[in-house]
Chain A
Amino acid sequence: MEKILEVNKLTKVFGKGCPNCFDKTGPELDTNVCPDCGSVVAAHELSFDLYKGEILGIMGESGSGKSTVVKNLFFDQEPTSGHAIFYDDDKQYDLFSLNAAQKRHLRNHRFGMVYQNPHLGLNFGISSGGNIAERLLMNDLRHYKEIRERARELLERTEVLTNRMDELPGNFSGGMQQRVQIAKALAINPPLLFLDEVTTGLDLSVQAKILDLILEIQQEMNTAMIVVTHDLGVVRLLAGRTIVMKYGRIIESGLTDQILEDPQHAYTQRLVASAL
């Protein structure tokens, strides 16, 4: 078992911040807004690790800071402080001290991201096939025929009708857009994939299909994933380990079945007891 990611004391504050921000926010105080300066503490000293091929769930209500984690790791946001080491075979990257070109390199070549909102992950101005081709081109695949072939393969894999690959994503249903997004994220076989509420808002039947697809990909390609969700069912089905967050803090972490069947923290007990 090899480690692929190690996050150490990741902290993200929105606003100018003050010395009291961390003492005056958190689950015990029932807020993530600092009463003195009004800054929002989205994440405070989050530490965790991820192994190759592992799926880690991050669970919490809206505003718990769970999306902040993946947005920082995928460079969509810049952390206030903290470290994250990405282990890539024999190379190591200190993620938060990279320059723009190095960040772009990792985003384009080693990481994948699937957003809740397909508009963030897809270019709606070009065709679905084109979206995938874009990512392949960044990876030095240059032959038109090769690119088209690979795009077709990926769309087939994610069960998007390939005779519609030249259509704009805007013509597709939400579930289909999500599958195109997954195909795009997977195009380069990333060893690390971030999934931010990918099934939220989809029909139950489509949700099941997408979860099934994610699991298949993980088993076939040994992709490590961080799955952010508010849905207990999603972590139950996907994640081996789960982190529970509230107001920017990790309040509990453990094996997923243990978190769901023997939660230790009062908040997790309430959360699990409220699930339908």
Chain B
Amino acid sequence: MTAQPILSVEGFSKQFELHEQNKLIPSSSDVDFNVYAGKLTALIGPTGAGKSSVLKGIFRTYLPSSGRIHYHCANGLVMDLARCDEHQILALRQTEIGFVTQFLHALPRQATEDVVAQPLFQRGMDREQARQKAREVLDKLTIPERLWGVPPATFSGGEKQRVNLARGLIAKPRLLLLDEPTASLDPKTTDVVVEMIQEMKLEGTAMLAIFHHPELVERLADNVVTLTPPTIDTAKEVA
């Protein structure tokens, strides 16, 4: 391996301080790993090991409690995502870092193709052009054409998940965070998604992913990082 990592996480920890209950809830502790361009790093470990917290910490949906998250930007600069300015995070989210979560959050009453085209709208792309791209991705993910103009609110779990994926993939981020992107897909659709992820790897996208199925880790991961849940006695009362 010659390449420099795109993302290197050192000593990442996250705990939640719940004021009302006067408790500290540990989530992830002392996590280290690297993510490389064109490679997929998989986070594995039992429920409660803090896998999603790591992803959310990198995206700054969670404020990391400690540790460094060094991200090498396209312009060559290195930023610590755990500490850098909120405007810098927003800019990176718009151009370089994508996140596909387990659940679809979208504006109500918005057509599916518009939901998927959102990241392109945000970059100021012409609406019709963006929609055209959205249709291509939806087609690839085998969402039937009759659904493209309908809001995804009434879709099945698997369909919603694919819409969510389409929105994450359309932006072609440099770093893509995936939180169980195939949890409710049937084997055939899962294969389509695996193929798309492999294509993105070939195009150089760095990926950090949590998969429900060990089989998917085997098929897609280049590196595997195992997390262990924090021990119970670390959950303590705040003084």
Contacts and interface: CB of A to CB of B under 8 A. Distances in A.
Contact of A255 (B16, B89, B107, B108): B89
B62 A258 contact: yes
Given A258-B63, A261-B61, A262-B16, A212 B86 contact: no
A209 B86 contact: no
A205 B107 CA distance: 12
B76 interface: no
B122 A219 contact: yes
A44 interface: no
Instruction: Pick from B105, B107, B124 the residue with the most CB of A within 10 Å.
Output: B107
Instruction: Pick from A208, A212, A255, A264 the residue with the most CB of B within 10 Å.
Output: A255
B62 A209 contact: no
Nearest to B106: A237
B129 interface: no
Given A1-B91, A219-B124, A255-B89, A269 B109 contact: no
Given A1-B87, A219-B124, A264 B109 contact: no
A205 B122 contact: no
Interface string B183-197: 000000000000000
Given A51-B87, A240-B90, A266-B20, A257 B109 contact: no
B63 A266 contact: no
Given A240-B90, A258-B62, A212 B110 contact: yes
A254 B61 CA distance: 10
B56 A255 contact: no
B19 A261 contact: no
A1 B63 CA distance: 23
B211 interface: no
A237 B87 contact: no
Given A255-B61, A258-B60, A258-B62, A212 B16 contact: no
Interface string B7-43: 0000000001111100000000000000000000000
Given A209-B109, A212-B110, A215-B107, A270 B121 contact: no
A106 interface: no
A270 B122 CA distance: 32
Interface in B88-125: 89-91, 105, 107-110, 121-122, 124
Contacts of B61: 255, 257-258, 261-262
Nearest to A266: B19
Contacts of B63: 254, 258, 262, 264
B90 A255 contact: yes
A261 B62 contact: yes
Nearest to A241: B86
Contacts of B60: 255, 258
Contacts of A126: none
B12 to A, nearest CB: 14
A241 B90 contact: yes
Interface string A197-221: 0000000010011011001000100
Contacts of A219: 121-122, 124
A213 to B, nearest CB: 11
Contacts of A212: 107, 109-110
B27 to A, nearest CB: 10
Given A1-B91, A261-B61, A262-B63, A254 B20 contact: no
Contacts of A241: 86, 90
Contacts of A211: 107
Contacts of B16: 262
A270 to B, nearest CB: 6
Nearest to B17: A264
A269 B20 contact: yes
B18 A269 contact: yes
7 contacts: A54-B87, A54-B90, A219-B122, A236-B105, A257-B61, A264-B17, A266-B20
Given A208-B109, A258-B63, 15 more contacts: A1-B87, A54-B87, A208-B107, A208-B108, A215-B107, A219-B121, A219-B124, A254-B86, A255-B60, A255-B90, A257-B61, A261-B56, A262-B56, A264-B17, A269-B18
